[in-house]
A and B are shown apart, each in its own frame.
Chain A
């Protein structure tokens, strides 16, 4: 759970770098002229339900005026004064193509409620508030997550939704022999699928490690094979099957440290004779059958107890 929360935060940070100010800003900007009175400005705020506007003279941004300026003017009985006298000069602006993270920083630094947004020709093209930024990021997050959520929701309820005396989902993956660059893709796909099914992470980890070791063995020692995973409500059964050359002495192959791996395999960080032992450590049941010239068939069963299921 903690990890999920952290992921979301990282994603949020990423989005504030990816999204630009123009993605969040409001394009229709209400403005006033310096010649307008504070009373007229009050009407503008009331009509548009906003709390401040940029001040424009001949299309140029000359200041910004907010509800705070209005309150001060009211308190001093200066409601008839011109906006030009009461506005804040030296307006801080944001550029359309600045990342949102800059905007977030400026809001924190200057403590104001809004920034006018200008293009690189210094023309006013929009206005952005902290609320706009929040909405833009949330919108993007929603798009990003919708698809994965849909996958997960549908998949994790599958066992409850299917009506049958016995239910099993079977996933098959082909494994290329001697192709080290794709080694691990089957295990990686299976891992993704199991997490979409809502299987508990510790169980997925055991399945992933056992399957990956089996996949590496198929890649290293055979001309290819397949990995089939059968998921039932009570257990996950993985079969790793290849078409040879086969293991002459299974007892010897199961000895920790026994390996027939050539040097190049060891240089890749494998072939230390620990793979089968590691599979055994991850599995609740492990069965290894092999015939020289025919092939090897490895069965791995990992039970799903109440905790292991979604």
Chain B
């Protein structure tokens, strides 16, 4: 999905200057927990978050996320914008909640990042392997 479509679906605005509206994102992830972003995304993911500190950009840099949408009308502080510019990461804004921003894009066909071994292992331990205690 091109950023042009993303912006139109979420009634969003570009925060960064010089955004390439033809840039594509492959899938989406909504999270305010950066550890989860590190563990449960792939390269080319669109990150939607309510967190605005510079570590969001650092996290994106590490996992190969090139586009971040700040939700609930939040505007990131200048240091976050500066780091994003340095790392060539595009910043967008949405006035909707995390749930609605994700929901609109998911409905329009942007897929999720799928299932991960880390979460599946915990799922099996908790719900499928009755011999073992949850989390054990």
Question: Which A residues contact B (CB, under 8 angstroms)?
Answer: 6, 10, 13-14, 17, 180-181, 183-184, 187-188, 191, 201, 205, 208-209, 212-213, 216, 255-257, 268-272, 274-275, 277-278, 281
Contact = CB atoms under 8 A, between A and B. Distances in A.
Residue in B39, B62, B64, B122 with the greatest tally of chain A CB atoms within 10 Å: B62
Contacts of B1: none
A257 B119 CA distance: 12
B33 A13 contact: no
Given A255-B135, A256-B135, A269-B32, A209 B55 contact: no
Nearest to B32: A269
Contacts of B56: 269
Contact of B122 (A256, A272, A275): A256
A152 B127 CA distance: 49
B58 A212 contact: yes
Nearest to B37: A269
B75 interface: no
Interface in B80-107: 87
Interface of B: 18, 20, 23, 32-36, 38-39, 43, 49, 51, 53-56, 58-59, 61-64, 79, 87, 117-118, 122, 135
Contact of A13 (B20, B34, B39, B87): B20
Contact of A209 (B18, B20, B63): B63
B4 to A, nearest CB: 14
Given A256-B135, A269-B55, A270-B55, A278 B62 contact: no
Contacts of B64: 201, 205
Contact of B55 (A257, A268, A274, A278): A268
A271 B35 CA distance: 8
Contact of B43 (A17, A205, A255, A272): A205
Nearest to B117: A281
Given A10-B20, A281-B118, A184 B58 contact: yes
Contacts of A212: 38, 58-59, 62
A153 to B, nearest CB: 22
Nearest to B125: A256
A180 B62 contact: no
23 contacts: A13-B20, A180-B55, A181-B79, A183-B58, A184-B58, A184-B62, A188-B58, A188-B62, A205-B64, A208-B63, A209-B38, A212-B59, A256-B118, A256-B122, A256-B135, A269-B33, A269-B56, A270-B34, A270-B55, A274-B39, A277-B39, A278-B38, A281-B39
B103 to A, nearest CB: 21
Given A212-B38, A270-B35, A277-B39, 12 more contacts: A184-B58, A191-B61, A201-B64, A205-B62, A208-B62, A209-B62, A212-B59, A256-B118, A269-B59, A270-B33, A274-B33, A278-B35
Contacts of B49: 269
Contacts of A271: 35
B135 A269 contact: no
Contacts of A187: 58, 62
